[in-house]
Amino acid sequence: MVRTLLVRGMIAGVVAAVLAFAFAWLFGEPALDGGIAYEDALAAAAGETGGEELVSRGVQSTVGLLVALLIYGIVVGGVLALVYAGVQGRLLRLAPRATAGLLALIGYVVVVLVPFLKYPSNPPASSADDTIGLRSGTFVFMLLLSVVAAVVAVAVGRRLVERFGTWNGVLAGAAVYVVLVGVVAALLPVVSETPADFPAVVLYNFRVATLGIHAVLWTAVGLLFGLFVTRGLRSSERPSAGAGVG
């Protein structure tokens, strides 16, 4: 059963990655090109000449981007399937498709949106090269703590659901998560180093595109996985129904 769910989740991740790639190519790449143009302008003003690219920009924006999204989509789909296998029938007693959709929404908020609000993504030349380690480390730390906070919130929420009802328990669990990530975000250092003359439109478009790419992928994974699971259940019920009639 788990293996079947895992395969379905990974297939959903592959399809979702292709959709996310189309979105990224249409909306993300123009914003990325704006950051590269700003970087090239700074280099030209300083009299610097760019070195030979190990991987051409064309390959990066096509094959490289697609491969990266495929890996990401497969991981997201696989993890979603494993989580679904652990909570199916116990998450507010929702139908399979609704469960998959809710898990995808929670995953997007916990893994993407909350860490992004503290440490948003930046296009090229909008941050200092010597702070890459600090920015990457704090982002990963925020991501991990967001996941831990979500696990704690779910555990608390499930206990409160039993005592105070579904609605109150869910609200209390959500409040626990908000408080925990709020404290973590307040304690972690602020990294703000975007040059004053960096094009605001480029920065805005890049960040919106980043959120959009993740939103397309997580939404597609949730919807497709839910569809696959529902169809799988229907197909498994047909033989038994036929046997009962005979």
pLDDT tens digit sequence for 124-153: 767 766 777 788 889 999 999 999 999 999
Least confident segment among 25-29, 67-71, 231-235: 231-235
Mean pLDDT to the nearest integer, 14-27: 94
pLDDT of res. 48: 64
- Could you give the CA distance from residue 213 to residue 76 in angstroms, rounded to a whole number? 13
* Of 13-17, 102-106, 112-116, 204-208, minimum mean pLDDT range: 204-208
pLDDT in the model for residue 235: 74
Residue 4 to residues 67, 90, 111, 120, 177, Cα–Cα distance (Å): 24, 19, 25, 36, 32
Answer yes or no: is pLDDT of 224 > 60.
yes
* Per-residue confidence (pLDDT) for residue 36, from 0 to 100: 75
| Residue 209 parent element (H or E) | helix 200-245
Would you say residue 242 has pLDDT above 60? no
Name every residue whose Cβ is closer than 8 Å to that of residue 153 and which is 6 or more positions away in sequence. Answer: 173, 174, 176, 177, 180
pLDDT score for 226: 94
Rounded-to-integer distance, Cα 16 and Cα 227, Å: 13
pLDDT at 245: 42
Q: Side chain identity at 126, as an amino acid letter?
A: S
- Which residues lie below 8 Å from residue 211, measured CB to CB, with a gap of 6+? 112, 113, 116
Contact indicator for 60, 68 with CB cutoff of 8 Å:
no
How much is the average pLDDT of 228-236?
Answer: 81
Query: Using CA atoms, how far apart are residues 164 and 158, in angstroms rounded to an integer?
Result: 10
Cα–Cα distances in angstroms (integers) from residue 129 to residues 42, 60, 126, 193, in the given order: 14, 20, 9, 11
Range in 72-81, 222-231, 233-242 the model is least confident about: 233-242
pLDDT of residue 91: 66
Q: What pLDDT shows up at residue 233?
A: 72
Alpha-carbon distance of 213 to 227, in angstroms, equals: 21
- The predicted pLDDT at position 140 comes to 93
Q: Which pLDDT score, from 0 to 100, does residue 43 have? A: 63
pLDDT at residue 246, as a whole number: 38
The answer to which of 1-5, 31-35, 77-81, 187-191 has the lowest mean pLDDT is 31-35
Prediction pTM value: 0.85
Using a 10 angstrom Cβ sphere, with 0-12 exposed, 13-18 middle and 19 or more buried, the burial of residue 186 is exposed
121 band by pLDDT with thresholds 50, 70 and 90 = confident
